[in-house]
Amino acid sequence: MNRVPAPLLALAAMVSVQLGAAIAKTRFDEVGSVGAATLRLVIGAVVLALVVRPRVRHWTRQQWLGAIALGLALGGMNVFIYMAFASIPIGVAVTIEFLGPLALSLVHTRRWRDVLWAVLALAGVVLLGVGPAAVTAVGGVVFAVLAAVCWAGYIVMNRHVGATIPGVDGLAVSMLVAMLVSLPFGLRSAVDGVVREPVLLLVFGGVAVLSSVLPYALEMLALRRMPTRVFGVLQSLGPAIAALAGLLILHEALALLEVVALACVTAASVGVTLSARRGRGGRTGGADPVP
């Protein structure tokens, strides 16, 4: 892996996430959108817990509350975005979801030029709002917005947990909490689907690897050898990669307005990332993984 360029590892992580999402959507007819999210979370949480074996015996109340809050955000993000996938194209859903971390970045800036990026992002939102997907499936847009809010919460809590709990023990516990969040809503449809078609366990095992295990590992390797500024710019390609995965695997073609909106949000994200990192003196360090 050391011979593979770090930016390529970061791109591979994003491609892996969106491929996993697209593959999961191909099985919505068998298990439903929430059932698919539940299967992914259950398999991912169990595998991570077995590998990490988090040591929680001496955790403080603050550490437990942080891990639980992170798990709630993580569970909500996964469930809501899969519910959005059920009625709108993946590219549109991920573009809307991406507004969560983008808005969080804008809130923490104090530079006048960032107003321009905010206006560009707002233009993308307006274009998505009048696009065919939003007009015909308002519910899907609402779920994507809720996923965006959860993603912003995930970023805030991930930083907190990372600062108070060593290693990835906090993430492992949070994954278990996220799994518990999804069970009341998706367990029945997930079990019914697996009973009818046991091969779904293998399919969603692959989805869990593609959407959680593999990208997390690749991002960690990439961040050891590249500045977070560059990593953040590359992450801004997420909506475009999602749209491409939706087109290739699900044959979801986006309308012109939706493509322009995607470009606006991506450009705003790149601009905010570059502006914020310059304002911090180009420091390097960790970044928040996208689950």
pLDDT tens for each residue of 28-46? 999 999 999 999 999 989 9
Is 1 a member of any domain? no
251 C-beta neighbours (distance < 10 Å), count: 8
Is 288 a member of any domain? no
Q: pLDDT confidence of 291, banded at 50, 70, 90?
A: very low
Could you tell me what percent of the chain has a pLDDT over 70?
Answer: 91
Is 284 a member of any domain? no
Between 91 and 278, whose confidence is greater?
A: 91
Query: DSSP label at 209?
Result: I
- Residue pointed to by tokens 């390529």: 8
Indicate the average pLDDT of the chain.
86
pTM of the full structure: 0.87
Mean pLDDT, range 97-107, rounded to an integer: 84
Mean pLDDT, range 16-27, rounded to an integer: 95
Is 289 a member of any domain? no
- Residue pointed to by tokens 């989805």: 207
Region of poorest pLDDT, from 9-18, 77-86, 102-111, 165-174: 102-111
Query: In total, how many domains does the chain have?
Result: 1
| Predicted pLDDT of residue 149 | 95
The H helix count followed by the E strand count for the chain is 15, 0
Q: pLDDT confidence of 113, banded at 50, 70, 90?
A: confident
Q: pLDDT confidence of 276, banded at 50, 70, 90?
A: low
Is 233 a member of any domain? yes
Is 287 a member of any domain? no
* Owning domain of residue 173: 6-279
Is 223 a member of any domain? yes
CA distance 273 to 278: 9
Is 48 a member of any domain? yes
SS3 27: coil
| Predicted pLDDT of residue 126 | 83
Length of the chain: 291
| Predicted pLDDT of residue 279 | 53
Q: Which amino acid is at 142?
A: V
Could you tell me what percent of the chain has a pLDDT over 90?
Answer: 50
Of the chain, the end-to-end C-alpha distance in Å amounts to 21
pLDDT at 10 exceeding the cut of 80: yes
Mean pLDDT, range 253-263, rounded to an integer: 91
| Predicted pLDDT of residue 106 | 78
Q: Which of 98, 87, 114 is nearest to 149 (CA)?
A: 98
CA distance 122 to 103: 10
pLDDT tens for each residue of 119-164? 888 888 888 877 787 778 889 999 999 999 999 999 889 888 888 8
pLDDT at 277 exceeding the cut of 60: no
Report the half-sphere exposure of 172 (CA within 13 A, side-chain side).
16
